[in-house]
Amino acid sequence: METELWPNLFYQSRQRNIPVVVANARLSERSFKGYQHLKKLTQATLGQISLIAAQGESDAKYFVSLGFQAENIHVTGSIKFDLDISEPAIKAGKELRQQLGGDRPVWIAASTHEGEDEKILQAFTKVREKIPDALLILVPRHPERFTSVAALCEKMDFKVVRRTDKQLCDAGTQVFVGDTLGELLVFYAASDVAFVGGSLVTTGGHNVLEPAALGLPIITGPHMFNFAAISKAMCEAGALQQIENGEQLAAAVIDLLTHPETRHAMGEHGKKLVAENRGSLERLLDMLKPYIENNRK
């Protein structure tokens, strides 16, 4: 899947006549340049692959440039567009929203990494100067950072409630830390605006399609190379705003929280883009049928 290329696994599979398909394949410019430094190993590894189903044209071109046969690569789109937003998650999000304070403006900073939280909280200080009752849902990407991020919020004089506290937020609560696993969709569904993390630092960003499918306007930082094609399409569709720093993040959040018509328009653009690009999974499964049928024989 995606960029998981394992030289020994692929070689041993080929020795046993087991076809290898790289599905939902993506290759950022940074990864492409890295593989170029290991040209012999990369070409040998790619030579063991039967088929590549690439997310986009740029991904396909990078694989071909590294030595993969063009006739064995197909652009199928990203299966991430085929995500399923369950009704229970939406319902749980609405229930959480009431626990957070009902009509308060709520924005989420999701999947944040070390080095981002400080910038987000500094931006939130400026947001609260304009919108005093705004609430931030802050969701660190990695569980081992839950406690340290909550402590950082308190150190910066924010009143914090953690999800695991299992208590209601009162009017004085400023930051709600999402310190659980598997509830990101619920947190998105409780929000008005989404900032997707891993993008104000050089991590390469995270999936923006979940908030888009829920109809949220999306903000990211400049570093979205892991989702370059998707974020570009979202920008062009008017569903995503890319900012450069914490100051611009504050301005973007303030603008969206104070202009419901803009929020709604961006959210609708995102939902439409997701709907129009569904079907990648079906295309991938159709391509896999010959390999599965041959294996059964």
Task: Indicate which CATH number applies to the domain containing 171.
Answer: 3.40.50.2000
The single-letter DSSP state of residue 70 is G
Residues 184 and 244 in one domain: yes
**pTM for this structure?**
0.85
Q: Under 8 Å CB-to-CB from 112, ≥6 apart: which residues?
A: 120, 138, 139, 140, 141, 149, 197, 198
- Write out the residue range of the structural domain in which residue 48 sits: 7-78+278-296
Residues 228 and 284 in one domain: no
Residues 140 and 252 in one domain: yes
pLDDT confidence band for 296 (50 / 70 / 90) = low
Alpha-carbon span 68 to 182, nearest angstrom: 37
Q: How many domains are contained in the chain?
A: 2
Mean pLDDT of 226-254: 95
Contact by Cβ (8 Å): 266, 238: yes
CB-facing half-sphere around the CA of 149: CA atoms within 13 A: 30
- The answer to whether residue 94 sits within a structural domain is yes
- The answer to whether residue 124 sits within a structural domain is yes
Alpha-carbon span 89 to 190, nearest angstrom: 10
Q: Which residue has the tokens 């950082």?
A: 152
Alpha-carbon span 40 to 261, nearest angstrom: 54
pLDDT value of position 4: 87
Q: What six digits make up the tokens of 59?
A: 């991904």
Residues 223 and 266 in one domain: yes
Residues 114 and 184 in one domain: yes
Residues 50 and 71 in one domain: yes
- The answer to whether residue 223 sits within a structural domain is yes
- The answer to whether residue 1 sits within a structural domain is no
φ/ψ of residue 204, rounded to 5: 110, 5
H-state helical runs in the chain: 7-15, 29-36, 39-46, 57-65, 87-100, 117-130, 146-155, 184-189, 209-213, 228-237, 246-258, 260-276, 280-296
Residues 159 and 228 in one domain: yes
- The answer to whether residue 58 sits within a structural domain is yes
Residues 119 and 247 in one domain: yes
Residues 115 and 262 in one domain: yes
Taking only the tens place, the pLDDT of each residue in 229-242 is 899 999 999 999 99
Contact by Cβ (8 Å): 30, 225: yes
Distance of CA 241 to the CA centre of its chain: 14
pLDDT value of position 29: 87
Residues 37 and 146 in one domain: no
Residues 177 and 231 in one domain: yes
The single-letter DSSP state of residue 1 is -
- The answer to whether residue 163 sits within a structural domain is yes
pLDDT confidence band for 297 (50 / 70 / 90) = low
Taking only the tens place, the pLDDT of each residue in 65-123 is 999 999 999 999 999 899 888 899 999 999 999 999 888 999 999 999 999 999 999 99
- The answer to whether residue 143 sits within a structural domain is yes
**Is 68 strand, coil or helix?**
coil
Taking only the tens place, the pLDDT of each residue in 161-219 is 999 998 889 999 999 999 999 999 999 999 999 999 999 999 999 999 999 999 999 99
Residues 15 and 108 in one domain: no
- The answer to whether residue 234 sits within a structural domain is yes
Alpha-carbon span 77 to 57, nearest angstrom: 9
Taking only the tens place, the pLDDT of each residue in 119-159 is 999 999 999 999 999 999 999 999 999 999 999 999 999 99
Alpha-carbon span 22 to 100, nearest angstrom: 42
Alpha-carbon span 86 to 288, nearest angstrom: 27
Q: What six digits make up the tokens of 30?
A: 């940074």
Give Rg (Cα) of the chain. Answer: 21
